[in-house]
Structures are given as C-alpha cells and as structure tokens.
C-alpha cells in the first residue's frame, strides 16, 4: 500500500496568489446585467398590503415601461396581433358577420311562431309548475 502524502501547509503569500487567481477566473466569466425587465411568460401576482396601513412605497411615480409591458401582456390576442398566431386562434378570430342582418328578410330570419300545439304545451308546463308549488 502506498503511504499517504503529507500536505505541506501553505503560507500567506501562496494562499493570496491562489485566491487572486480564483477571483480573476470568476471575474473573467461573470457578466454584470444592469437592465432588468419582467418575464412576460410568467404569471404576475400582486400582493396587496394591509387595508388600515398606509403604504409608503405605493406613493411616487409610476414606471411607464413596466405599465406598458403589463398592459401588453394582459391584452387579448386579437388586440396584440394582426393575424392569428396558432391554428386554435383562427377559430373565432374574425367575429364580424359576413352579411348584415335584416329582420324583415324571410330567408334568413326565423322568428318564434306560436301555433295550437305550442300554446297547449306552454299552458301544460305552466299548470305543471304551479301544481308542484
């Protein structure tokens, strides 16, 4: 069996050199981000304060960029985009009627009409409801 190697304790100068090299490696791979933004793909939950306590942080100027991003995030897809983005959005994307509705046109308008049978059934259901009470 091999005899375990004894570690020689490092003096302060060697330890500082090792620390300096580690810090240089970390700083070389580190990026400093100064511009922060909201991830628009996560849900935003607002936590309200206590009702009887005046919130000091709520006073002040509103961040226009943040409010614009939040307004854009909570818009419905028809307001955000000019065309549907998925096949599921294609159904119901255009909701305007293809032709204008004319009440007097008998080809397209079928109003409720009552006849002898419908009047009889209406009276029957009315009597049935009143007898159950």
Sign of CA pseudo-dihedral 52, 74, 61, 57: positive
Predicted local confidence at residue 116, as pLDDT: 92
CA–CA separation, 15 and 8 (whole Å):
12
Predicted local confidence at residue 60, as pLDDT: 65
Predicted local confidence at residue 25, as pLDDT: 93
Residues whose CB falls within 8 Å of the CB of residue 76, separated by 6 or more in sequence, listed in order: none
Which range (21-30, 31-40, 65-74, 98-107) has the least confidence?
Answer: 31-40
Place of tokens 């006073």: 59
Q: Is the pLDDT reported for residue 19 higher than 90?
A: yes
Mean pLDDT to the nearest integer, 41-53: 73
Which range (3-7, 14-18, 53-57, 129-133) has the least confidence?
Answer: 53-57
Predicted local confidence at residue 2, as pLDDT: 72
CA–CA separation, 18 and 9 (whole Å):
13
Give the largest CA-CA distance in the chain: 111
Predicted local confidence at residue 102, as pLDDT: 82
Give per-residue pLDDT as tens, 55-112: 666 566 778 888 888 898 899 888 888 899 888 888 888 888 787 888 888 887 887 8
Alpha helices in the chain (DSSP H): 12-29, 64-73, 77-80, 87-90, 116-132
Does pTM top 0.75 for this prediction? Answer: no
| Ramachandran sector of residue 60 (left: φ over 0; alpha: ψ -120 to 50; beta: rest) | left
């Amino acid at each position: 069996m091999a005899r375990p190697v004894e570690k020689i304790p490092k003096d302060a100068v060697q330890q500082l050199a090792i620390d300096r090299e580690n810090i240089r490696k970390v700083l070389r791979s580190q990026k400093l981000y100064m511009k922060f933004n909201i991830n628009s793909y996560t849900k935003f939950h607002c936590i309200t304060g206590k009702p009887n306590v005046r919130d000091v942080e709520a006073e002040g100027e509103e961040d226009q960029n943040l409010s614009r991003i939040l307004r854009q995030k909570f818009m419905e897809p028809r307001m955000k985009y000019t065309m549907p983005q998925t096949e599921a959005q294609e159904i119901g994307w255009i909701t305007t009627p293809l032709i204008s509705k004319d009440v007097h046109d008998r080809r397209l308008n079928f109003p409720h009409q009552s006849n002898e049978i419908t009047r009889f059934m209406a009276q029957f259901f009315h009597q049935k409801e009143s007898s159950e009470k």
